[in-house]
Amino acid sequence: MSIPWAIYFAILVAMGVWVIRLKAVEKEQAQALEKIERERRAVFMFLNNLGERLTTSRIAMEPALQIIIEFIVDRADAEAGAIFLLDPADNQLAARVVQGMFPLLNPTTERVLTKQKYLTERVKRERIPLGQGVIGEAALTGKPILVADAANDPRVPNVTLGYLTIRSIMAVPLRARGVVTGVVAVVNKREEAVFTQADLDLLLMLADQAASTAEMVKLYNEQAEKQRIEQELRIAHDFQRMLLPSECPDVPGYEIAAFSRPALEVGGDYYDFFWVDPEQRHLGIVIADVSGKGIPGAFVMAMVRCTLRVVARGRLSPREVLVEANSRLYADTKENVFVTMTYGILDTQRRTFRFSRAGHEPLVTVKYDSGAVRLTSPDGIALGMVDNDLFQTTEEAELHLEPGEAVVLYTDGVVEAMDPEAREYGQKRFFDFLVAQRHSPPQEIIENALKDIEAFTRGHPQHDDITLVALRVRTDIMEVRVQPVVSAAPTG
């Protein structure tokens, strides 16, 4: 039985259509594979180019972005391109790098802009609010924009200068961790052509790589900066430790100990001992707290130490020393820099301690037998805070020390140490502790005070430095051994 010619013809037509569709599918698949291969090669070339031109010792953001935009302009076959970064402070975009004669988005007729150097500088000075024009819209919406016919798109500025006319433009947002951080834009495909969807797809892919690279450079530099600061802090820390006495003085008839621990790598507290006179009868004793921590505090501390040692020489009045020191510090430091201090002179023969207090914590003495606590707080203003007309009100006090009596100087980091519930260690607990420890040598007083503070704070991070100086009049006349400075918290 023969097949009717009409049916036969229909079968042939159907087969022909199927073959055509199959070839179309094969062509689409081939084009898709070609597109994937083209994008793969572009990514490979991008990463290879970036790796060759960036150094591992220091990756600056602008050179990295310049490499990126040069590659993007080349691969997009564009005449010019730019990367705009968003300033979160005012939600405006500014061109960080420019490649080629990128047109101004705020038109001008300045003829000097025929030179690329001046045009680039002008483009970088422009600010683009979110939502304004193609660039601002891409940043606001987070969506890519392709304008094939810029002359009829109101988002594109109408430039009267021919060489700056935008014929076609693509703008793609840059994202870091899901947040738009900028926009990459290219203008005017070469040889009078217009950008296509395939060009936009390629730019999207390259923009992802560019955003990832920019974020990597940012994180790398943040880490490098952190390491640099840590190195500087280590140096400043070592420098500060050098300023502290390596050991407490050996004074017959007395026991002396000291301790200082910064809350940060570098603190603002310090203490010092020095002989005021060549006969080594009068011992200068200092404890101070410099406003500000870290490196600035360390520098001010060094200046204060040097100033005090210079002006204290030969002077037996602590008040006179602080007045002279204030005169120098007030002239040489900034308005917000000040130093609280207690400076006293121990007369080792008369067993007296004469001192002045520049806004510092009160001086504490504890009787050996009775445990009576005495707080002495002569009036005084912090160094560097007011001129000498006001600073002259600083007072001076003198204490006669009995055998066994302990003298303790401290910074506010001791009594303001906090536990996890934000409760302060406080003066009462500290003074009660000193009473209980009144028969202990100064070294043990300090070590046990640190243990008591640590027990109270229970590992809670502290915001202020801790510094202690303790001296005690011996109850006998035996020679006194040199007491080493406690350089770190004791370990049980």
Q: Record the pTM.
A: 0.57
pLDDT at 344: 97
CA nearest to 369, candidates 461, 415, 435: 435
User: For residue range 292-351, what is the model confidence (pLDDT) as tens digits?
Assistant: 665 666 677 778 888 898 899 999 999 999 999 998 888 777 667 789 999 999 999 999
Strands 169-176 and 269-275: unpaired
Contact 382, 338 (CB under 8 A): yes
Q: Within a 10 A sphere around the Cβ of 476, how many other Cβ atoms? A: 9
Q: What is the pLDDT of residue 101?
A: 85
Phi then psi dihedrals of residue 233, to 5 deg: -65, -40
Q: Domains (ranges, CATH) in the chain? A: 25-222 (3.30.450.40), 234-473 (3.60.40.10)
Query: How many whole angstroms separate alpha carbon 211 and alpha carbon 65?
Result: 10
- Give residue 248's Cα distance to chain centre: 36
Taking only the tens place, the pLDDT of each residue in 86-97 is 888 888 999 999
Instruction: Please report the pLDDT score of residue 291 as a whole number.
Output: 77
pLDDT given at position 265:
56
pLDDT of residue 491: 32
| Per-residue pLDDT in tens (0 to 9) along the chain, 492 residues | 445 555 555 555 555 555 555 555 455 555 545 554 455 454 545 544 544 444 444 556 788 788 888 888 888 889 999 999 988 888 899 999 999 888 877 655 555 455 666 778 888 888 999 999 999 999 999 999 999 888 888 888 776 555 578 889 999 999 877 889 899 999 999 888 889 888 898 888 778 777 777 777 777 777 777 777 777 677 766 767 777 888 999 999 999 999 988 776 556 788 999 999 989 999 999 999 887 665 666 677 778 888 898 899 999 999 999 999 998 888 777 667 789 999 999 999 999 999 999 999 999 999 999 999 999 999 999 998 888 888 999 999 999 999 999 999 999 989 999 989 989 999 999 999 999 999 999 999 999 999 999 999 988 887 778 899 999 999 874 443 444 444 443 333
| Residue 283 identity (one-letter amino acid) | L
What pLDDT does residue 44 have?
Answer: 46
